[in-house]
A = this chain, B = another copy of it.
Amino acid sequence: MRFDEYNYFNIYLIYKGGENMTSTIKDVARLAGVSISTVSRVINNSKPVSPEIRQKVMKVIEEINYKPNEIARSLVTKKSSLIGIIVTDIGNSYVAEMVRGIEEIAKMYNYDIILCSTYSDKETECKNIQLLKRKQVEGIILISDIINDRIDELIKEYDNPFVYLNRLYHQTKYSTVSIDNYNAAYEMTKYLISLGHMNIAYLTAKEKQLKELTTIETEKLEGYKKAVREELYEEIIHFSKGKNIKSGYNAANEIIARDNITAIFTSCDDLAIGAINYLYDNNINVPHQISVAGYGDIGTASILRPKLTTIDEPFYDIGAVAIRRIIKELKGEKVDFDEITLPFRIQRRSSCVEIK
């Protein structure tokens, strides 16, 4: 450090010492003896700057530990590099997994994420969209599991890249990403049939408000039906009160009242886990007395004993693809299809066995 620089630095310290310590581009400019535009240029590498000056500026930046204020930058560039992500509840492992995918990819492209929870409340969902708009997020991913008739209006106002990961519906208005639920359910049922099961109960839940099955649940159910019909087996369909573990627990009781059932296939892992718990608590052996298959392959599925046979929905990838799509759109790249379908896998584990 030569004397003049050392001196500059001291002056700077004296100047800044009293008040707010954060230094601005002006400080850097003054200390480096250049204009703020030049500083801006070296920070952003936006235009050529002579090596010596660049050096000098960088040194000052280093010395006073200058960090550009992204808020100010955003204001002028109109790019916040923020993506809003609205979830039902980060406590659900599949949601966490999706967020993981989103966050990781977003970071790769220098976007940050603002996280909001709705706990499946419609009002909160709407509020969050508006709030994120005010925060100038460049895109929104909405992970929802409710019906929200105000989405249309809100998104129209918002007018930015948007991906709708609604677990109830497939709609063509917005970009979405999911697996082929019809075929997934079909294949799982076929698998159970291949194990010799002839009386396979399907357990699902109606949506509370509508009191009917949602688009996606209908697709799964149809997949199940198709497989069963092909064999001319009986369709055995049960509806639980909800989709959580407890609902599965309670439903299992009713299902096994029919004593010919040898397998239960549920529309989500939690229902399967609930069912397995019920059977365990009532000394009914899974899989030897009853096989149980789930849907989703949440983390718990492979921890359980017996390990849960289920359909692997690639939650991480769903998140990753969703954010990828938004970033593409933001970059002005052409984005073709709006309904992206990802591959699934049947996870054959120990909760389902061949019938004897």
Compute how far the CA of A104 lies from the CA of B69 in the bound complex, rounded to whole angstroms. 27
Residue-wise interface mask of A (111-137) relative to B, using a CB-CB cutoff of 8 A (1 in contact, 0 not): 011111100000000000011011110
One digit per residue, 1 when the CB lies within 8 angstroms of any chain B CB and 0 when it does not, for chain A 60-94 equals: 00000101111110110000101000000111010
Taking the closest CB of chain B, its distance from the CB of A330, in whole angstroms, is 15
Does A335 reach chain B (CB closer than 8 Å)? no
Residues of B within 8 A of A245 (CB): 303
Q: A159 vs B65: C-alpha distance in the bound complex, in angstroms?
A: 13
**Which residue of chain B is the closest to A68 with respect to CB atoms?**
B134
Chain A window 91-118, contacts with chain B (Cβ cutoff 8 Å), 1 for yes, 0 for no: 1010011011001100100001111110
Asked if B115 contacts A67 (CB within 8 A), the reply is no
CB-CB nearest in chain B for A124: B107
Please give the count of copies of this chain that the complex contains: 2
CA of A134 to CA of B97 in the docked complex: distance in angstroms?
27
Closest chain-B Cβ to A16's Cβ sits at a distance in Å of 12
Q: Is A305 an interface residue (CB 8 A)?
A: yes
Are B280 and A136 in contact, with the CB atoms below 8 A?
no
Q: Is A354 an interface residue (CB 8 A)?
A: no
When the two chains form the complex, which single residue of B75, B96, B99 contacts A71, counting CB atoms closer than 8 Å? B75
Other-chain residue from B74, B107, B303 in contact with A116 (beta carbon distance below 8 A) = B107
* Distance between A11 CB and nearest chain B CB, rounded to angstroms: 20
Answer whether residue A304 sits at the interface, using C-beta atoms and an 8 A cutoff: yes
Once the chains are docked, how many angstroms separate the CA of A229 from the CA of B151?
A: 63
- A257 in the interface (beta carbon within 8 A): no
* Selected contact of A114 from candidates B97, B113, B157, B276, CB within 8 Å: B113
With A65-B157, A114-B113 in contact, do A135 and B70 touch (Cβ < 8 Å)?
yes
Is residue A254 within 8 Å, beta carbon to beta carbon, of the partner chain? no
- Evaluate contact between B80 and A90: CB separation under 8 angstroms: no
Establish whether residues B100 and A112, one from each chain, have CB atoms under 8 Å apart when the complex forms.
no
Q: Once the chains bind, are B74 and A71 in contact (CB under 8 Å)? A: yes
**A281 and B303 form a contact (CB under 8 A):** no
**Interface digits, A268-293 against B, CB 8 Å rule (1 contact, 0 not)?**
00000100110011000000000000
Chain B CB within 10 A, most for which of A67, A80, A89: A67
Closest to A286 in B: B305
Distance to closest chain B CB from A20 (angstroms): 8
Name the distance in Å between A99's Cβ and chain B's nearest Cβ. 6
Is A300 an interface position by the 8 A CB rule?
A: yes
The 0/1 profile, CB within 8 Å of B marked 1, for residues 290-309 of chain A is 00000000011001110000
Asked whether any CB of chain B lies closer than 8 Å to the CB of A21, the reply is: yes
Bound: A72/B103 CA distance, A: 25
Nearest-Cβ distance from residue A314 to partner chain B, whole angstroms: 14
Q: List 24 A-B contacts (CB under 8 A).
A: A21-B159, A67-B130, A67-B134, A70-B135, A71-B71, A71-B75, A72-B75, A75-B75, A89-B100, A90-B103, A91-B100, A91-B299, A99-B115, A100-B117, A103-B115, A103-B117, A104-B117, A107-B116, A112-B131, A113-B114, A113-B115, A114-B115, A245-B303, A280-B305
